[in-house]
Chain A
C-alpha cells in the first residue's frame, strides 16, 4: 500500500501538465466553445502522435503502449485541469471497450488507428429515460438477413460531430447488443444539445440505419456487461477530469483570497473564507483518492464497480461545492463572463451530471453493501450483487 504517486506517475502527470500549460490557454478553450467543430485538431494531433495519449493504455499488439489505466486517469486529471478541447474521453472509453470485448478483426482494424490518433470515437447509451440500467434502452436493432437495422434515439452523446464512429447500445431479441457504427451512416440525424460546459453534445436519431453483423461488439444479446464496463470507464474518467478541474478552480480561489483585500486585510485571513478553502482541499483530496483507487482496482482485475460509484457520487456532490466556494470567494468578479473562473465552474457542474448522477451512483453503492451476503468491511473487496 502506498497511495502516493510514484516517480513514474508524477512524471506522466508533469509532462501532460507542462504540455497543456503551454498549449492550452483559456482563450483556446473559449474559442472552441464557439467553434462549430469544437476541438483543436492541431492539439489532437500533438497529444495523439507526439505525446501518445491515445496509445497509452491500449494493448501493445494493437499499436498501444500497454500501460495501466492509472496512467490514463492522470492524463484525464490534467485534461480536466486545463479543460483541453480534445475528444480524448469519448475516444478512449470506446476504444477500451472494443479492446475488452471487440472481435479480433475489429480490434486489429480500429485500435491501431485510435493509437495513432487517426480515428475519433464516441459512445451512446442514455435515452429519454436516462437511467444507466439495461431496461432504459429502447433503441432496437432488428436482424435483417446478415445485417441489423437500428431505430431509436440516443441522448447526451459527447463529441458526435467530431467522431468517425460511435458505439450504439440497442435491444436485440433477448437482450442488449453493442454495435460500432459509422457516424456518417445513412439514416442518422442529430439534434444539438447545449450543456453548461458548452462542449459538444448531441441527441442522435437512428432511422432504419443499416449495420453489418461484423460491427457487433461482444456477443449478441449479452451486451449488458460490456455496456456496464463502458459506462464505468466513462464515469470514472469523468471523475478524474472533475478532480483536475476542481483542483485548478480551487487554486485560483486560494490565490485570489491571498491577494484580495477587504476591511484592511486579505480575505483569506477571515476564518469563514479560510475554512471554506480548507473544506475545498479536503473534498478534492477525497475525490482524487476515491477515483484513483477505483481505477487501480480496474487495473488489478478486482471488482471495481462499487469503487467507481463511490468516486463518481462523491465527486458529483462535493466538487460542485468546491467550485461554488471559488465563485463566492471571487465575489462579483466570478459572475462576469470576461473572467475565466466560470469556465471550470460550468464544466464541473455539467460533468457531474454525466455518466450517472449522485443518486444513481449512491444507489449502486447501497446495492453493493446492503444487498450482498456476508459482512462488509471498509477497505475490503466489495462486489455488486450478481
Chain B
C-alpha cells in the first residue's frame, strides 16, 4: 500500500501548476470556455503546442505513436492538473484506447499521434433515439458495397459532432445475428458527404452556463446518415465484433482524472468559498448542521478520489478491473449530484440564481451545476446500468 505521491511526482505536479499559472491567461480561459460552439481556437492551438513541447501530451502512450512512453500514473497526475482548468491532455477520449487495442497498424499510425497532438478529435455516434441504455439494439445500418460500406440511419446526443474532425460510429452490419454479434465500429471524417448535424440545445444553454460549470453542456446534436460511403479500411476491429471493441473502449474511458474531477471540483470550491468572510457564505462555516453536511460530502469526495486511485493502481499493475471502473461511474456522479444539491441548498436563496441574475454568487455557478449534475449519471453508461455491471460482472449475480 502506498497512498502518497513520490517526490518526483510532487515536483512534476508543481511544474505543471506553474505552467498553468503562467499560460492560462484570461484570454485563453475565455477561448477554452467558449469552445462548445466554435471548436479549438488559435490560442488553444498555441497552448497545446507548448504543452506538447513540455512532453505532457499523451504521456503514457508509446513513443512510436507520438506519446512519451511514460507510466499511467504520471499521466494521471498531469491530466488532473489540466482537468482542473478544463483541458484534456490525456490523449484519451473514446476513440483512442479502442484504436490502440483493436486498430490495424495503419490506423494506429495515422490516428494515435494526431489524437495526442489534438489535431484529430472524435465524436461518438452510439446512442439512437430508440434508446441508449440498451445500446446493442441499435438500428443504424452499414451495408457492404464493393470496397465500401454504405451507412444509413440516425444517432442522437452525438456530443461535439459539430466541432469534431471525426466520428466513432457504431452501426449494425448483420441484422440476422444475435444483437450483440451484428454490430461494427467505423472511423470516419465528419465531413464525409451524407452526414447532417443538427443541434440539440440542453437546459444549460439559456442562459449559458458560466465558466467553470462542472456539468456545462449547452449543446449536443442529432446526426443523420444518408448513403454515407466510406472505404472498407474505416472498419475498426473485426466485422460484427464492434460491440466488444466499443465496450472495452468505454470501460477504459471511464477511469481517469477528468471524470473524477468533474464530480469533486465543487467540493473544493464550496469549502474554499466558505473560508472567505463574505456574508453570503457565513451560514456555511458557522452553522453546525451545515458543517456536518460539508464534512459528509467531503468524505464522499475522498472516496471518489480513492476509487480513481484504485483503478489507476490496477491499470498500473497490469490488471483488469472487472467492476472497479463501473463502481467509480456509480459513485462519482451520484456523489456529484448529492453534493451539488447540498451546496446550492447551503447558499439558501442564492443557490437558485443563474448567471444573468442580479445578486447571484459565483456567477450562478451552483445553480447552473444543479441544472446539469444529474446528467453525468445518464451519459456514458447510466448509473442504473453501471450498478447492474457491478452486480453482474463484479459480484456474479444472475441476470433478471
Contact = CB atoms under 8 A, between A and B. Distances in A.
Contacts of B267: 378
B130 to A, nearest CB: 21
Interface string A1-14: 11111100100000
A211 B294 CA distance: 44
Contacts of A106: none
A268 to B, nearest CB: 4
4 A-B pairs with least C-beta separation: A274-B391, A362-B295, A289-B306, A278-B390
24 contacts: A1-B3, A1-B9, A1-B309, A257-B397, A258-B396, A269-B397, A269-B399, A271-B388, A271-B400, A274-B387, A275-B387, A278-B330, A278-B394, A278-B395, A282-B390, A289-B306, A293-B3, A310-B299, A362-B295, A362-B296, A365-B295, A375-B268, A375-B275, A378-B305
B73 interface: yes
A277 to B, nearest CB: 6
Nearest to A307: B302
Interface residues on A, range: 35 or more
B398 interface: yes
A335 interface: no
A281 B394 contact: yes
Given A3-B306, A289-B310, 17 more contacts: A3-B313, A274-B388, A275-B387, A278-B388, A278-B394, A281-B327, A282-B390, A286-B307, A286-B331, A290-B299, A296-B3, A313-B295, A362-B292, A365-B298, A366-B294, A370-B294, A375-B272
B392 interface: yes
A378 B288 CA distance: 22
A278 B292 contact: no
Interface residues of B, number: 56
Contacts of B391: 268, 274-275, 277-278
A310 B397 contact: no
Contact of A378 (B275, B296, B301): B301
Interface of B: 1-6, 9, 73, 264, 267-268, 271-272, 274-275, 284-285, 288, 291-292, 294-296, 298-303, 305-307, 309-310, 312-314, 316-317, 323, 327, 330-331, 384, 387-388, 390-392, 394-400
Contacts of B1: 2-6, 9, 70, 292, 296
Interface in A92-118: none
Given A271-B400, A296-B1, A363-B292, A4 B314 contact: yes
**Residues of A contacting B: mostly:** helix
Contacts of A6: 1
Contacts of B313: 1-4
